[in-house]
Structure 1
């Protein structure tokens, strides 16, 4: 799976990203997004993939749906999957989206009343070298509002771990404080968010689909008990626990 794909595959992926990018909505589309306390929002989804240690092909694809604002578990789906696309920087969505989309589709078919009103994705959205990361891909294909929340800074379009960036992080005083991630072009691609008072290391929030950046940042903060927003944290914890239970020898 580490072998590089043929150039024609990468070109096809780039073309697909460009095609889907035309369908992306980077503004608020839902009534709950207009309310300061998100009144009307009841269900928030989180997705993640966890891999067996030493195996970059077999993974647990995880979907959770939590109540809002209480962050209580309403639904979970853990499913072992076999990834068929190689990992290529900037094209993570082609590896992971099909399985996350299947999990949402299973929920839609079996318990549609629990379908999340927004999905938080462990990865980037518009904060991407071609402004179409995993959260955008999943959002456009699912039709659901999506937010990208990355734990590490993606260094693209002139955004990097410069001294200025570190100074901006140090200036974040409390949970909810943020600063823009501005490309060399001047375009704001996302925001670095101090997600809780206790965590000084920020998360990186960007638009996935059907939500504005400011709303995405407010929502991410509202979902945080710790540094990582609870829907993503729960998806990560539960997928890792699934691997521990089913593949104990692999030391996942």
Structure 2
């Protein structure tokens, strides 16, 4: 089993908190793109999705993936998968510092090779504003890429008065763990 060499220092966590707070100030929660504001808006044409996938038991090597689909017919327009070696450990609330660099690289490869296929919105496997400091992976990627991003997390964070309880489980179909 491969693991990160050591947990982050308190100094590093403080640095990450500070960086999150600075970047949080740059989050735009309004429509910013011409296609969003145009009276002749005819709908989305391209949506993207990003994720880092891991081999079970390996916390260092992952596959960074970007897929762009046509919308609404969801035909694959572009795929990018690259094995990467993570340099930051997993720390709850700081997933962006572990994953964002590789997701940004995937978006940059697309922008360089086929800019006309850049997604109009990116779905991110992680939280956005629904985060301990209202700045999860989706916000981080959105600010740094300049693209509208939506967080689509698999796990419910216990923040802002939301708890993983039986009531939430019955409403979402999620299991309480």
Same fold by TM (over 0.5)?
yes
Name the counterpart of 1:115.
118
The question of whether the paired residues in 2 share the 8 Å contact of 1:2 and 1:87 is answered with no
Q: TM-score, normalised by structure 1?
A: 0.63
Pairwise CA RMSD of aligned residues? 1.9
Name the counterpart of 2:14.
11
Name the counterpart of 2:94.
91
Once residues 2 and 114 of structure 1 are traced to their aligned partners in structure 2, the CA distance between those partners, rounded to angstroms, is 38
Q: Deviations over 1:68-120 (max 9, x none)?
A: 00111000001010000011000000000000000000111111011111100
Structure with the bigger RCO (C-alpha within 8 Å, sep 6+) is 1
Q: How does 1:1-252 map to 2 (within 5 A)?
A: 1=4, 3-33=6-36, 39-167=42-170, 169=171, 200-201=173-174
Once residues 82 and 105 of structure 1 are traced to their aligned partners in structure 2, the CA distance between those partners, rounded to angstroms, is 18
Which SS does the other structure have where 1:150 is aligned?
A: coil
Structure 2: gaps spanning 5 or more residues: none
Once residues 116 and 83 of structure 1 are traced to their aligned partners in structure 2, the CA distance between those partners, rounded to angstroms, is 25
Structure 1: gaps spanning 5 or more residues: 171-199, 203-252
